[in-house]
Structure 1
Amino acid sequence: MSGATPVEAWFGDGFARLHPSLQSLHREGGRLEGRVSFRVGRGLAGTIGRRVLRRLGIDPASPEQRLVVDIRHVDGVLRWARRFGDGQEAVSWFRPVGRWPDGHWEERAGPLKLRLMVDTDGGGWRWRQIGCRLWRLPLPAWLAPAVDAGKRIEDGHYRFDVAIRLPLLGEILAWGGHLRMAC
């Protein structure tokens, strides 16, 4: 696919399985805005979840925040820059490996690198984690954080959800909401 974005090239013919609004977003890039709701776990998991929120500049006592996501294609990778409320920008870089449906993406955010396969259903996209590295060291499943995330178009809005779990502790943090394309 000459001139294709990383997402178009990775999906190939499977790109048509995505909702037209997701196709447009991943063809042209864009900016999403809206309010998201947060949920933290209980006990030690909740303590860790609140610490993560503070690190993102989010007051854990506030269950909702404004979210702005800037999505761009840069040198063959996908760049997602997220800003919750007035907090700092959190950037993830997604590098495609192979091709859909057997290939995967590598998400890098700071010292953490996740290997993620993609499942499509009803025009949406769900990440399925297949590996995790911290500072280049592979983490075994019994030690690694597990991320469950997906996106779809619902009632004309971009609907997403993310949950992070730690072995033995359970869910530490989850967030999600409906976003709209910003001008």
Structure 2
Amino acid sequence: MESTNAVTAWFGARFGDLHPLLQALHMRNSELSGPVVLHFGRGMAGAFGRRLARKLGMPDVAGSHHLTVRISHNASTLGWDRCFDGTHHLRSQFIPHGRWPEGYWIERTGALELTLTVDVMEGGWHWRVISARLRGFRVPLWLIPRSTAYKRIEDGNYRFHAAFSVPVLGEVICYSGVLKPSHHD
């Protein structure tokens, strides 16, 4: 391993459980880009999803979008700067606590703070929400959108998927796509 950062330290000796390409992605600052498909639920679910997208800094128009993800690391944080179509920014900061598999991450995106654990399945990184806060106040899990979020390797490419659903309405927003590393000299 070239250097220690928040991700490599959090996984420790189990960092090798991740697919080698995911390991490479998290051994240094990285950038991925490519097309993603964004879609919203129907009716009220779609209206809620578009509102959520605007609040998070995402486009509120369904369809194909270009996504660039800049992943930054240091000893204490993991940063994700997602940019849709060069105009819409969704930034998250992840702070590790403990070590895998008992440890967790705190994701801060605007006023929302999620406590996440990680499940490693077939070398992929799957996030699972275990608690949430909004503007510092604990929010019962049944009140926040359920999420399915992962990154894994498919045919040598990076597959990203993030979907959110709420009780009664169902899925409100989802984006997914296959991204490739961007090379900068």
Q: TM-score, structure 2 length as denominator?
A: 0.92
Q: After the TM superposition, list the runs of 4 or more consecutive aligned residues in structure 1 that deviate by more than 6 angstroms.
A: none
Amino acid at match of 1:114: L
Deviates more, 1:30-39 or 1:86-95: 86-95
Secondary structure class of the residue paired with 2:83: strand
> Would the aligned equivalents of 2:51 and 2:60 in 1 still touch at CA under 8 Å?
no
Percent of paired sites with the same residue: 45
> Would the aligned equivalents of 2:107 and 2:114 in 1 still touch at CA under 8 Å?
yes
Q: CA deviation at 1:59?
A: 4.9
> Does 1:31 pair with 2:28?
no
Q: TM-score, structure 1 length as denominator?
A: 0.93
Q: Counterparts of 1:92 and 1:133 in 2: how far apart (Å)?
A: 15
> Would the aligned equivalents of 2:59 and 2:88 in 1 still touch at CA under 8 Å?
no
> Does 1:137 pair with 2:137?
yes
Structure 2: tracts of 5 or more residues without a match? none
Matches within 5 A, 1:52-71: 52-55=52-55, 56=57, 58-60=59-61, 62-71=62-71
Deviates more, 1:64-73 or 1:141-150: 141-150
> Does 1:13 pair with 2:13?
yes
Counterpart of 1:120? Answer: 120
Deviates more, 1:28-37 or 1:160-169: 160-169
CA distance change for structure 1 residues 100 and 75 in 2, over 3 Å: closer, same or farther?
A: closer
Alignment size in residue pairs: 182
Q: CA deviation at 1:2?
A: 10
Q: CA deviation at 1:42?
A: 1.7
> Would the aligned equivalents of 1:10 and 1:98 in 2 still touch at CA under 8 Å?
yes
CA distance change for structure 1 residues 74 and 156 in 2, over 3 Å: closer, same or farther?
A: same
> Does 1:77 pair with 2:77?
yes
Q: CA deviation at 1:125?
A: 0.8
Q: Counterparts of 1:66 and 1:104 in 2: how far apart (Å)?
A: 30
Secondary structure class of the residue paired with 1:96: strand
Amino acid at match of 2:16: A
RMSD of aligned Cα (Å): 1.8
